[in-house]
Amino acid sequence: MEQKVRVRFAPSPTGPLHIGGVRTALYNYLFAKQHKGDFVLRIEDTDSQRFVPGAEAYIIEALTWLGLKFDEGVHLGGDFGPYRQSERKGIYKQYVDQLINDGLAYYAFDTPAELEQKRNEIKNFQYDASTRSMMRNSLTLSEEETKTLIENGEQYVVRFKIEPHEDVVVDDLIRGEVVINSSILDDKVLYKSADSLPTYHLANIVDDHLMKITHVIRGEEWLPSAPLHVLLYRAFGWTDTMPRFAHLPLLLKPEGNGKLSKRDGDRLGFPVFPLEWKDPKTSEISSGYRESGYLPEAVVNFLALLGWNPGNDEEILSMERLIELFSLEKCSKSGAKFDYEKGKWFNHQYIQLKPNAEIAELYTPYLKEHQVSVDIEYVEKVVGLVKERVNFVKELWDQSFFFFVAPTSFDEKTVKKRWKEDSPAQLAELSEVLKNIDDFSAHNQEEIVKAWIESKAYHLGNIMNAFRLAIVGESKGPHMFDITEAIGKEETLKRLDYAIKNISANV
């Protein structure tokens, strides 16, 4: 029987989730759902020094906002819990002991000062096969001495004993075979007696094993740890059930080289976090995609294509479609430039795709801010007329305020350019024409008004420009008769009258 696919997103709660981390979570989710597998949230909080309060809740809120649903996790429970490593403390020690008993790990008692001294003595010091014999550890001390030190409560760490001169192969689903010689690896610390906690490496491997994880999909920054992880699986005798690895390419700066950073976002004006984040220590606020007005679907679509593409020119991809098409094999090996302008483009596309009713709901709070309260059906209609002009819901006001409030002042430049000597008289005539129209639909108005302009041999452009100035207050907006149809005959006539009285006074 095929093994059930199980993947995990395993963040350390050290701050807000970076947008690159969101992409990692997304790819895990897509992969899991495509294979009808499980998507697990595990919190890797064994490094208490770096723990940041609120980070875990932030991660859950962000991924929930984006529609990434976990099957198991710290917030949901499941058959493989607990899902927070600090709550799994009791689980790890036996695995550390197993490695020690098998001679694959050892106790090391070197104090920070002793290590520092060695670093000063030996250039490029690394705790490994070439140096471990000079150190204070259970390989150099007698069994008796080691036992006494531990019994006396001396602090120690457990180090993994890496044999040198071996090519370790990491078979990566994105990068192919990555070979690293074990001589460059150091004897990594797996456990610390000081807090009775394993380090990331040990906890990560033990948990992936116990949680029956089949695929480890994570950022490229973890690739250097992968050979160590392969060796750990072997040391435990778990090679047969070792997960497949897939290391995702980096997200790169929009311009220049290097990894995308928060500073790039600050400098160029785009968020690098999914949600707004307030640093609990400094109270510094970092902007988020949600608060900046991005729709979750747009963020998902945008991120999905940063490092992967479906191999055709499909660009607008719903979550369902992404689940269908996603493949690790099509992920690129090289970094993906973070093109934030494209992010805006996606938001624009999703605003067009969403039903007007939904956008109208999102627009309502902004209308309230401007003390506008009207029927939602009216808002819906307005949204339909102007949404093609915006990238964000918050930009709708600037494109549609005149559907809700009559102009009381008129843009000076437009007045100079568009308000001719005969404008007041012509608009007064136009007002009469409009007054007699019963069917005030855009189409009918247009037909009648154009016929009148023609019969009078007036200049179409002049009339329409002055008309727009009177109704809108400046020279913007969608099709003129769509506006007048929406605001209605009475309001149209009122605005014409006001403009005639007030603009003419200026000329």
What is the set of active-site residues?
262
CB of 226 to ligand GLU, least distance (A): 9
CA distance 426 to 467: 9
CB of 81 or CB of 219, closer to ligand GLU = 219
The closest alpha carbon to 445, from 483, 481, 497, belongs to 481
CA distance 46 to 58: 18
Give the chain's radius of gyration (CA, Å).
33
> Can you point out the beta strands (E) in 82-207?
105-108, 157-160, 167-172, 176-181, 189-192, 197-198
CB of 334 to ligand GLU, least distance (A): 21
Residues 6+ apart with CB under 8 A from 474: 407, 410, 411, 414
CB of 11 to ligand GLU, least distance (A): 5
CB of 87 to ligand GLU, least distance (A): 15
CB of 10 or CB of 415, closer to ligand GLU = 10
Confirm if 295 and 350 have CB atoms less than 8 A apart. Answer: yes
Confirm if 135 and 117 have CB atoms less than 8 A apart. Answer: no
CB of 165 to ligand GLU, least distance (A): 27
CB of 151 to ligand GLU, least distance (A): 34
CB of 12 or CB of 423, closer to ligand GLU = 12
Confirm if 380 and 354 have CB atoms less than 8 A apart. Answer: no
Q: Residues interacting with ligand GLU, by CB under 6 A?
A: 10-12, 44, 204, 216, 218, 222
Residues 6+ apart with CB under 8 A from 274: 16, 17, 19, 22, 62, 63, 65, 66, 288, 289, 290, 299
CB of 251 or CB of 463, closer to ligand GLU = 251
CA distance 328 to 134: 45
How far are the Cα atoms of 7, 149, 379, 389 from residue 374, in angstroms, in the given order? 48, 78, 7, 22
CB of 138 or CB of 204, closer to ligand GLU = 204
AA letter at 318? S
Q: Is the N-terminal amide bond of 224 cis, ω within 30° of 0?
A: no
CB of 207 or CB of 485, closer to ligand GLU = 207
Confirm if 367 and 379 have CB atoms less than 8 A apart. Answer: yes
| Phi, psi values for residue 250, rounded to 5° | -70, 155
CB of 218 or CB of 290, closer to ligand GLU = 218
CB of 170 to ligand GLU, least distance (A): 13
Q: Is the N-terminal amide bond of 249 cis, ω within 30° of 0?
A: no
Around 315, how many Cα atoms within 13 Å sit in the side-chain half-sphere?
9
CB of 12 or CB of 399, closer to ligand GLU = 12
| Token pair for 97 | 């002991």
Confirm if 47 and 41 have CB atoms less than 8 A apart. Answer: no
CB of 9 or CB of 402, closer to ligand GLU = 9
3-class state of residue 435 by DSSP: helix
CB of 221 to ligand GLU, least distance (A): 8
CA distance 247 to 334: 11
> Can you point out the beta strands (E) in 267-414?
277-278, 285-286, 336-337
CB of 21 to ligand GLU, least distance (A): 7
Confirm if 19 and 273 have CB atoms less than 8 A apart. Answer: yes
